[in-house]
């Protein structure tokens, strides 16, 4: 599995911890590469675009809370980014929502929990089925409307 990973300055250390512990996946690092201030939408856009274009299977984004990254990533058509701070949400966002980008908050979860969340996100398959697939299609149907409405 190829996984894009990226962080802003607040998430840099947690991103590095995830990179060091990731086993069995090929990580493609979209930066940032230091704790120097940077703008999270730039990193989120790059990772989300790689996911949407099929260059990678999934994405992981880290910022202070995970919320800013998820907001930015979800602007890219075809991306279903979820900010998760617990293992239950990480598992269900994959199983029920087929989320393809995980967003973590370095100021919300510690490295141990973050690694557990990442592992569940990567290991959990989409359950599929008519009920879940119908809802995913409804999410995709919202994308053109959002773009026409200016955001």
Give the Cα separation of 109 and 121 in Å (integer): 15
Q: Select which of 63, 84, 132, 140 is catalytic.
A: 63
Give the Cα separation of 91 and 124 in Å (integer): 6
Q: Please report the pLDDT score of residue 148 as a whole number.
A: 47
**Cβ distance 111 to 117 under 8 Å?**
no
Here the CATH number for the domain that contains residue 108 is 3.40.1400.10
**What mean pLDDT do residues 115-139 have?**
95
Q: In the block, which residue shows the tokens 């274009």?
A: 53
For the chain, how many structural domains are there in total? Answer: 1
Q: Please report the pLDDT score of residue 145 as a whole number.
A: 63
Domain that holds residue 107: 2-148
Give the Cα separation of 99 and 34 in Å (integer): 28
Whole-model pTM? Answer: 0.94
Query: Tell me: the pLDDT tens digits for 33-90?
Result: 999 999 999 999 999 999 999 999 999 999 999 999 999 999 999 999 999 999 999 9
**What mean pLDDT do residues 117-131 have?**
95
Write a three-state SS string for 33-50.
CCCCCCCHHHHHHHHHHH
Q: In the block, which residue shows the tokens 């966002």?
A: 93
Look up 84 and say whether it is catalytic. Answer: no
Write a three-state SS string for the chain.
CEEEEEECHHHHHHHHHHHHHCCCCEEEECCCCCCCCCCHHHHHHHHHHHHHCCCCCEEEEEECCCHHHHHHHCCCCCCCEEECCCHHHHHHHHHCCCCCEEEEECCCCCHHHHHHHHHHHHHCCCCCHHHHHHHHHHHHHHHHHHHHCCC
* Mean of per-residue pLDDT scores for the chain: 94
Q: Is the pLDDT of residue 7 over 70?
A: yes
Q: Select which of 96, 103, 132, 140 is catalytic.
A: 96
């Amino acid at each position: 599995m190829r996984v894009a990973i990226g962080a802003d300055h607040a998430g840099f250390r947690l991103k590095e911890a995830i990179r060091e512990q990731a086993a069995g996946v090929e990580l493609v690092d979209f930066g940032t590469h230091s704790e120097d201030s940077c703008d999270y939408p730039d990193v989120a856009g790059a990772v989300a675009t790689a996911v949407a274009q099929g260059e990678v299977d999934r994405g992981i984004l880290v910022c202070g809370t995970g919320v800013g990254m998820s907001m930015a990533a979800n602007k890219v058509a075809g991306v279903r980014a979820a900010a998760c701070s617990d293992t239950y949400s990480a598992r269900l966002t994959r199983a029920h929502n087929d989320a393809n980008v995980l967003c973590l908050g370095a100021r919300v979860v510690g490295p141990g929990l973050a690694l557990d969340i990442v592992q569940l996100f990567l290991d959990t398959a989409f359950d599929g089925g008519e009920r879940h697939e119908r809802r995913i299609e409804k999410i995709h149907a919202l994308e053109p409307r959002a773009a026409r409405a200016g955001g």
